[in-house]
Each structure stands twice: as structure tokens, then as C-alpha cells.
A and B are shown apart, each in its own frame.
Chain A
Amino acid sequence: MSELEADGASRRGFLKCMTWAGTGLVWTVAGGVPASIALGAEAAAMKATPFSFVQVSDSHIGFSKPFNPDARVTFREAIAKIGSLPRKPDFIIHTGDVSQLSKDEQFDDADQIIKEAGVPVFHVPGEHDVLDEGQGKAFLERYGKGTKGSGWFSFDHAGVHFVGLINVVDLKAGGLGSLGAEQLAWLKADLAGHGSSTPIVVFTHIPLWALYPQWGWGTEESAQALALLKRFGSVTVLNGHIHQVQQKVEGHVAFYTARSTAFPQPAPGTPNATPGPLAVPADQLRSVLGVRDVRFVARNAPLPIVDQTLA
């Protein structure tokens, strides 16, 4: 657990290389429940915001198909979006699939691009980031300094507790995303020290709720993880993986999936579809890619969350 320091460095040891992909979403957190706000109201809301951060996801650097021949280009556009926000975010959270194939040069390219945002970056891996022979060792060496296990960690920032969970390693045949017993035990201990009024933000790659298990869009032990989070008055769960915005509120827990910066995927359960890249006409590509901006406002106000496309 660490606190972001005033100079933007983290005690946890900042990731020297910054990567983020696919998702650009501005999140504003108010009263524990993030609420999206109209784009027009954005600037005014920003001024009243103690802090904000940006979620990006699924940059898939290395992805190259005719409808998006170079995922670096769209990732760079997503990062540029961050620069145009009315308020500079305190940090970026990349919710995984930085790379397409866990290759060093793909991580290098991603790092070069995300660095352009000029703010700290936190990473959790996607399944595409743990394809090296060490099954995630390369990702951990690059981004996981000071983390536990396969890369999970937490930190506090401005009174909000952030928890990064890993659910893409050691997956079982026929199964969903997986947290594992060791990580769940860690989560329990990590949360134990926090009062129920502490706003919690959990971020992970694969959805932490059964979004569409038939396509693997869910996590095996989500019920156990959510039971640990139940006593908190405000829990926001952010993930990537499905390359589109989906949301759900369950009790005090609000779930949000984010867009990719590389390519879209079909809506869950689309007939005859698979959870793979969805080819779109070139002139529509940027309307289905984006970033997310999250703003934290007063403790008991709703969290404004703004999803922005690259269009």
C-alpha cells in the first residue's frame, strides 16, 4: 500500500515505463458511486473536482489488421486526448492488454507513447501481456515493481483506496478469469485496515462480474471478492477486456468496462459472433475507441465518469 506523493512519485515505486492502451475514460468519483456526466458539463465539473484520473485499456500494441493497421497510432491519439482534458489527471490506470503478444518491442512502443501524457501510470496485465515464456514475468519486471504475487497491489490517493487485481494468470481449461486463493487472502488483509466509508476503486483486466461467461467475460471468484467489498459504502470496479462500455450497479458497487484504443469487440451474445476483433469501416473506427476520465469530487457526491471516444 502506498500513497501518491505530492511530486507524483509513488512509494510503491513508479513504473518507469508507462503504458496505456485502448481505453480512455475520464472518471469522476462522487459519493462512491461514479456517475457519468454530460460532456458539456464536463469543464465546470472538473473545476470542483479534488482530483481525477484516467483509465485506458486494451492498447494491443502490435495489433495490425486492415481496419486498424497500427494500434500505436490510435493509442497515441488516446493519449493526446488526455492532454486536452480541462484538468490534468493525477495518474493513468492501464487495465491491461498493453501489448498484442507480450513482445518487448510492443511494451517499449507502448511505454514511449504513454509517457507523452506526462503523468504516473499504474498497470495490471491483460491475458495478452502474459504470453512470454515466464507467463507474465516480463510484464512484472517492467511494471510490477513492489507488487505482490502475479502483480497485485494497492495504494491510497486523496482518501480513496485503489486496488489493482490480476485475473489473467493461471487460467484453467473451460474457466473464466481467475484471482486465486493467495490474492483473495491478500485482498482480505488489504481491505481490513480501511473503514467502510473509504471509497474503493478496484481495477482489473477481465470483468469482475459475470458479464457474459459464455465468452469468458467474467471472473471465477468474483463472488468472493465482492463479498470482501460489500461493507464499503462506495466501490467502483473498472476493467477492460471487452473493448466496449458496459456498466452495472449492484448495491454499493458500480461496475464499468472500458473501450479499447485499438479495436472494438461485438456486444455480448451477438449471434454468430466471437469475442474477437470486430472489423469496422475506417471512418467509424475512432467512434468506437476511447479513453475514460474519472473525477473524484466531494466524499458524498456522485462520481462523474466520462467516456470519450477518439472521434
Chain B
Amino acid sequence: MTRLRLAAIAGVGAFVGLAALSGALAAGPGPLGVTIDNFSYSPPNLTVAAGTTVTWTNDDDIPHTVRAVDGSFHSKAMDTSDSYSFTFTKPGVYSYFCSIHPKMVGKVVVK
């Protein structure tokens, strides 16, 4: 995973894009991009403002998915280099996992 990729993904919103460029992954509204690599979501926990679109990109050499535990969103199987985006409109905590490899879990907190 590269900062460049994150920045590119985050380019939609200057505010978040700046956060990614500065590497402020944990503070404030996080980056808009989640990279999937080595059987994990990176970053695994993301905090965003309502209305934010998050994009997951599979950089792994095996297919993965993104599936909300509460069923509110799910991707198709993403092969290497495939992406999936979802716009979070309602505040809340969204836990998700890979339906192919359920040991892979992540979370999006929408403020």
C-alpha cells in the first residue's frame, strides 16, 4: 500500500486527501481508501464524516470481499486490483468482513 494510492483514492475530497497525504491515519476523518493486502484491511478502522465515500482496493493476489455485518452493504468478489466504493450517509459504526475469509474484519465509524 502506498500513500500515493491513498492520496489518489482520497482525491475526491481535499480535506480527507490532505489527511492521507500527511499520514494522519488515526486522527480526525481518516482517508477514504482502504487497501486490502496480505489478508487484511488497511487501515482496519476508519473514521469518516457522514456522506463520505470509502473505496476498498484489493492489492492481494487472491479475491476478497467487503460485507457489512448488518448486511447494509456488500461488494462483489474483488479480484486483484478491483475496487468497491460505498457512500456512508448515516452516522454509526459499521463492522464488515471478507465473506471469503471471515477472519478478515474491519470497521468504519461514521460521525
**Chain A residues in contact with chain B, CB under 8 A?**
65, 100-102, 127-128, 131, 133, 135, 171-176, 214-216, 274-277
Contact = CB atoms under 8 A, between A and B. Distances in A.
A133 B39 contact: no
B100 A128 contact: yes
Contacts of B43: none
B69 interface: yes
Contacts of B62: 276-277
Given A131-B76, A133-B76, A173-B69, A100 B63 contact: yes
Contacts of B99: 127, 135, 171
A102 B61 CA distance: 17
A131 B63 contact: yes
7 contacts: A127-B100, A128-B100, A131-B100, A173-B95, A174-B105, A176-B102, A277-B62
B-side binding surface: helix, strand, loop or mixed?
loop
Interface string B89-101: 0000001110111
B110 interface: no
B77 A174 contact: no
Contacts of A216: 101-103
Contact of B39 (A102, A127, A276): A276
A131 B77 contact: yes
Nearest to A127: B100
B65 interface: yes
Nearest to B106: A173
B38 interface: yes
Interface string B47-75: 00000000000001111010001000000
A215 B102 contact: no
B27 to A, nearest CB: 26
A227 B63 CA distance: 34
A54 B103 CA distance: 31
A79 B101 CA distance: 28
Given A171-B99, A176-B102, A274 B38 contact: yes
Given A172-B102, A173-B105, A216-B103, A65 B65 contact: no
Given A131-B77, A173-B95, A173-B97, A101 B63 contact: yes
A276 B100 CA distance: 12
Contacts of A127: 99-101
Interface in B13-43: 38-39
Contacts of B100: 127-128, 131
Contacts of B76: 131, 133
Contact of B63 (A128, A135, A215): A128
A41 to B, nearest CB: 38
B76 to A, nearest CB: 7
